[in-house]
Amino acid sequence: MRRMYSFPRGGFVFEDPYAPRGVSIETAFLPVFSVIPLIQHTGNKAYPIVFIGEYVKEGMLIGRGQGPGSANIHATVPGKVVRMASWKTVDGVVNDALVVRMEGSFERLGKKETVYPWSDLPPSELQRLIAEHGIVELDAGGRPIADILSALNMEKDAITLVIRCVFDDPWLVADRAICEERIKEIVEGGFITAKACDAKNIVYAVSYTEKRLIDNIQKTVKALQNLHSLPTPIAVVPVGNRYPQHNQRELELVLREYEKKENAVLGCLFMTSPSTLSAIHDAVKLHKPILDRYIAVGGSAVKTSKVFKARIGTRLRDLFEQCGGLIAPPARIVIGSPLAGRAVLDLDEPVTKTSYAALALLEKDVGGTVSRSCIDCGECRAICPTGLDPELLYKQLTCGAERPSVLECHGCGCCEVVCPSRLPVSTTIYTAAKESHI
Ligand code: SF4
Ligand code: SF4
């Protein structure tokens, strides 16, 4: 049996009876009105280049990225741009979106795709195609991949591309499903990305329980290496399933351990997800922007949880309806994981490039609502993977005393989930950590 690598302290086995089970994917209905936000990335909003009343084609550029952190935005359905919608997020950021009413025929949907060869393209051309098609990190906040590749060009150490197939959170089921459906595209996307950033190694970090996936990755890598004579060394590293193993910090800890034990040289780690590699594959081989998102939809307020392939711009309301509807008005709507996701204010919020999960929760499942005082049980200290004292930090931050250093907090949410007093521990600490980073 091969060694399994796991981070040293804290965390927990995360199970959620309201997450979708299995990996079968349902195609979401095409939305009559698509709400396509001009911010689906970390930087400035994209500049709209179409007018209200103009007709757009499926996959057409409709918003141009403006500077670092910003990415191009494309129409995901054909139709008429009927208006600009604006709304405020819970953080107070104003987001604008182009609303497209579906009309006319699809350029790509149901058509045979043209395939473009990539193995003779130089890294600069691969980077250009990735930037042109607006590819961002799909599971981690939306930083444009082209920005990451430019930063890696300056790197002096050898680069290792790390592909995170780590399913420590049941709400990552959409990424698990895409591994099932598009493993060939993911593996080839890995080779393309390795070439674009001149990575010397590719490492698949895979949950050790996913034996069939490990086998599939190994077989697909071998087949593609034989077909294209690709030399990049590949390793598959089995890792633990304890949450937050998927996090950058915890994954780096286990890969450094692997490096020591196996006498490997990994150097600088560029971590990315299967869904991002699948999008990179489509941008380079099919000249296709991100039109769909695999997304897990469910939660205690939803009748049946499902995994969808949904068009970017589909409203959450429509996906919940396709799940059989809501059983009661939700107390909270969350995009992303219930532990570390972002709350949204209404059901008209659309699916974006970075939406991997969407939940509607009943009051009983909403943590972090101050209801009692801290009982000094120490649960939050025991579970914090970074070794912080969340109880102390929470008290210091809420009592207005001297501001403690909270930079180590990466917002995993573990301390909040175990708090018997349902205090907003991680919400408070991580908000302060983000403010300290600004
Ligand atoms: S203090 Fe931060 S890092 Fe520690 S458990 Fe809480 S959210 Fe996670
Ligand atoms: S888990 Fe909650 S109640 Fe227990 S020590 Fe931490 S903050 Fe206090």
Residue nearest to atom 8 of ligand 1 (CA): 412
Domain hosting 392: range is 379-437
Whole-number pLDDT of residue 369: 60
Tell whether ligand 2 has an atom less than 6 A from the beta carbon of residue 324: no
The verdict on 156 and 260 lying in the same domain is yes
Please report, for the domain that includes residue 197, its CATH number. Answer: 3.40.50.11540
- Whether residues 134 and 270 fall in one domain: yes
Asked, for residue 116, whether it belongs to a domain, the answer is no
User: Would you say residue 428 lies in a domain?
Assistant: yes
Residue 349 structure tokens: 């919020």
Domain end marker among 228, 260, 285: 285
Tens digits of residue pLDDT in 340-398: 888 898 899 999 999 999 999 998 887 656 567 899 999 999 999 999 999 999 999 98
| Token pair listed for 52 | 């209200």
- Average pLDDT for 58-84: 96
pLDDT (0 to 100) of residue 367: 63
Sign of CA dihedral 86, 306, 410, 413: positive
pLDDT band at 105 (very low <50, low <70, confident <90, very high): confident
Higher-pLDDT residue of 371, 408: 408
| pLDDT above 70: percentage of residues in the chain | 97
Within-domain flag for 220: yes
Residues 20, 21, 23, CA angle at the centre, nearest 5°?
A: 95
CA distance readout (Å), 360 to 35, 271, 330, 337: 20, 29, 6, 11
Ligand nearest to the CA of 375: 2
Probe residue for ligand 1, chosen from 247, 380, 388 as the CB with the greatest number of ligand atoms within 8 Å: 388
Query: Is 11 among the domain residues?
Result: no
Are 127 and 245 contained in the same domain?
Answer: yes
Maximum alpha-carbon separation in the chain: 63
Pick from 18-27, 242-251, 396-405: least confident: 396-405
Compute the distance from residue 383 Cα to the ligand 1 centre, in Å: 8
- Which of 86-95, 118-127, 176-185, 230-239 is least confident? 86-95
Tokens, residue 109: 């949907």
Residue 389 lies in a domain: yes
> How many structural domains is the chain composed of?
2
The answer to whether residue 338 sits within a structural domain is no
Whether residue 89 is contained in a domain is answered as no
Cβ–ligand 2 distance for 374 under 6 Å, the answer: yes
Query: Of the candidates 262, 285, 308, which is a domain's last residue?
Result: 285
Three-class DSSP labels, 225-270: HHHHCCCCCEEEEEECCCECCCCHHHHHHHHHHHHHHHCCCCCEEE
Given 285, 311, 341, which residue is the final one in a domain?
Answer: 285
Distance CA(339)–CA(19), nearest Å, equals 13
Q: Are 272 and 399 in the same domain?
A: no
153 and 266 co-located in one domain: yes
Mean pLDDT of the chain: 92
Q: Is the pLDDT of residue 1 over 60?
A: no
Answer whether residue 103 is part of any domain: no
* Cα–Cα distance measured from residue 414 to residue 142, given in angstroms and rounded to the nearest whole number: 23
pLDDT beyond 60 at 42: yes
Q: Is the pLDDT of residue 401 over 70?
A: no
DSSP designation for 315: B
